[in-house]
Amino acid sequence: MAHYKLILAYEGTQYAGFQRQAHKVTVQSTVEDALRKLGWQGRAIMASGRTDSGVHALGQVISFNFDWKHGEEKLLKAMNANLPSDIAVQNVAEVPWVFHPRYDALRREYRYRLYFQGQRDPLRDAFAWRLDRMPSLELMNKAASIMIGSHDFRAFGRALKEDGSTVREIFEVDWKSVGDEQHFTIIGNAFLYHMVRRIVYVLVKVGLQEQRLEIFQQGLSQGETGIVSLAPARGLCLMHVEYPKCVFGEDSKVDEFPE
């Protein structure tokens, strides 16, 4: 018996989020089904976090115990042979028993994509939010910078547990132009339910000058913005989860978004 860490990439379009749900197809249930075909008898895999319905990932981290006697490379190939085409294992490593993908994580990195044109682009619509006009990068970056540091983000999301803390720490935020798109990167210690998508929605409204720059300061100081809308799930991707080097040997990182 050994403890394994896997890095997953998936297109979330067809899934009701990562976490297993009754009567719905999720990433977790699909991965567990693939494992059971290989003889795994565990109850549940552990994950670095729960992505929403329709959200993608390049760097989702999972772990599980498994009595597998054929090596890491064969486990990777066997998993991918039993997974659908929109989920793929990127890396397999045996790790210490104490490793937990959620509780040991130091930083999580998400990326959100926007593109701009009058008509839908079927080749990009599954991975980006289409807008008719470009918001101001300067305004969005100025608003986003207010979030740096440790704050109560209850105005932008909710804790997964009823009595859970809504305080999170944001390390980096950045909007930049990438070709004819705009990409937003946000790195924090953890995120609330719907937090990144609500932040993106409000930032875009600021960039389009449909909301005041001060809306973020209001949300952090008063705990409300009056805005309940979310950016579409399809533009969001979990890029990478970082762990202390002491937890396990070599940390794997995936940097590119699938085109």
Known catalytic residues are 52
Rounded to 5 degrees, φ, ψ at 215 are -60, -30
126-130 long-range contacts (CB < 8 A, ≥24 apart) are: 126/11, 126/13, 126/234, 127/56, 127/234, 127/235, 127/237, 127/257, 127/258, 128/181, 128/234, 128/235, 129/200, 129/231, 129/232, 129/234, 129/235
Neighbours of 129 (CB within 10 A): 23
- Total residue count of the chain as it appears in this document: 259
Residue 245 neighbours by CB distance under 10 Å: 9
The CA radius of gyration of the chain, in Å to the nearest whole number, is 19
Give the Cα separation of 212 and 202 in Å (integer): 10
Strand partners, 109: 187, 240
| 250's tokens | 């070599």
DSSP-assigned beta bridge partners for residue 178: 181
DSSP per residue over 16-32, as a string? S-SS--TTS--HHHHHH
- DSSP percent split of the chain into helix, strand, coil, nearest 5: 20, 30, 50
Letter for the amino acid at 236? L
